[in-house]
Amino acid sequence: MRALAEARTDEVLKMWENLGYYSRARNLHAAAKEIVARWGGRLPENRKNLLALSGIGEYTASAILSIAFALPVAAIDGNVSRVISRLFALPSPLGSPESRKQVLDLANHLLSKKHPGAFNQAIMDLGATVCTPRAPSCLSCPLQGLCKAKDLELQEQLPVTKKRPTLSRKHVT
């Protein structure tokens, strides 16, 4: 942590080269500096202090709390939302307040209290590799026997997504 905090910005960006999202490298660098300055180089163990760090939002704070500190907190990203939506055949469009609450409540209910970090990582990986947005690999899914979307043959239609408004095209000269 100290080495990162003490590094020059150009050195950090060079190490980050070809990973994309350079703002993430800048935020990581800024967060490392703050962690060293405020907490002696140790990550804070509470949501409020984590959220105060550059680049850390709800998902990252939850992931850190569950993985690094084994706290029973569900980490919800797009992959987890998709898995939970399909598992329970949720009818609400992803991203809607109703859907967010349902997904969070269900994820917290399912969460392993003994191994929350491993559980969160497993669900994230399942969504990234098996329960993909298109053409999910249901036959190789360890949850296929529990999945309501598969039972109802709705895995291709779920999760429901919000309809994006049609953009009008204007030609100007």
pTM of the model: 0.87
Q: What is the pLDDT of residues 78-123, one digit of tens each?
A: 999 999 999 999 999 998 999 999 999 999 999 999 999 999 999 9
Q: How far is CA 167 from CA 109, 113, 164, 170, in A?
A: 39, 45, 9, 10
Q: Is the pLDDT of residue 166 over 80?
A: no
Residue 170's pLDDT is 83
Residue 168's pLDDT is 79
Residue 38's pLDDT is 95
Q: What is the pLDDT of residues 12-68, one digit of tens each?
A: 999 999 998 999 999 999 999 999 999 999 999 999 999 999 999 999 999 999 999
Give 109: exposed, middle or buried? Use CB within 10 Å, 0-12, 13-18, 19+: exposed
Q: If you compute the radius of gyration of the chain from its CA atoms, what whole number of angstroms results?
A: 20
